[in-house]
Amino acid sequence: MPTEHTSGDRTVVADPAWVGPAFLAVLPIVGAGLGWGLILIAEWITGLSWFPFQGLFELVTDLPRAAQLTGGIALGAVAGFVLALWVVSEMLAVTVGRDSIRLKRGDLDRSLDRADIASVFVEDKRLVVLGHRRQELAQVPFDLDRDKLAAALRRHGYGWLPDGDPYGAELKRWVPGADGLPRGADALLKARDRALEKSNEGDLAELRDELAGLDVVVRDRDKKQYWRLADPA
């Protein structure tokens, strides 16, 4: 269960401290077990002509049995550890302070000044921070406790929107050449549509930021993009 703790003038909403070490301890063991299991059935797999990576499994079965087991367990453990590192790096931490909100997840580490923030809401498992011109300041995947986040925001005097996006009714489905978009936005949405098909999270986030620079707010639903404009500066 996600935790919330306050220190001085900051409140951090994040996963419990034990979750990261648990992943780092358990996933390598699971990986080692899977590696051991694959070695046990490697010879059987070589008899399945349709199974991929036949050359790799044939190479494995040519090794001495001890080398097979040692290598399989070691590689599985390493793969599990790498996966655990990725999982831990993708865990979101929201630090709500008197003067700013900090979002940290993976490569994202963004601090938003209080003066720029109008409101915050969670919708479709996304945390969204809006500015005073209804522009989007940040949007990140959110799997923490909404109530703990709401309590932290209210404690520090930020605007929390419990009912989600107040401007959701203005969102329009994007189609190429849509009317009303600022210059350059349609090309960005086309590129983003391709990234959406490939589930390329890095490109999706980067292109979302570029669209935000054009005062275009974009939401994703079922591999489709919906957009609206922020108020002019």
The rounded distance, in Å, linking the Cα atoms of 118 and 153 is 12
Q: Write down the residue that tokens 């109530």 correspond to.
A: 147
Where are any strands of DSSP class E within the chain? 3-7, 10-14, 93-97, 100-105, 108-113, 117-123, 126-131, 136-141, 172-173, 216-221, 224-229
The confidence score (pLDDT) of residue 58 equals 86
pLDDT digits (tens, 9 = 90+) for 144-196: 999 999 999 999 999 999 999 999 999 999 999 999 999 999 999 999 999 99
pLDDT band at 216 (very low <50, low <70, confident <90, very high): very high
* C-beta separation of 131 from 116 below 8 A: yes
The rounded distance, in Å, linking the Cα atoms of 89 and 21 is 12
pLDDT digits (tens, 9 = 90+) for 30-77: 999 999 998 999 888 888 888 888 888 888 888 898 999 999 999 999
Whether 129 has a pLDDT exceeding 80, the answer reads yes
Pairing of β 10-14 and β 93-97: antiparallel
Question: Which of 215, 193, 217 is closest to 204 using CA atoms?
Answer: 193
Question: Which of 3, 13, 14 is closest to 153 using CA atoms?
Answer: 13
Question: Is the entire prediction scored with pTM above 0.85?
Answer: no
Mean pLDDT of the chain: 93
Q: Write down the residue that tokens 């936005």 correspond to.
A: 185
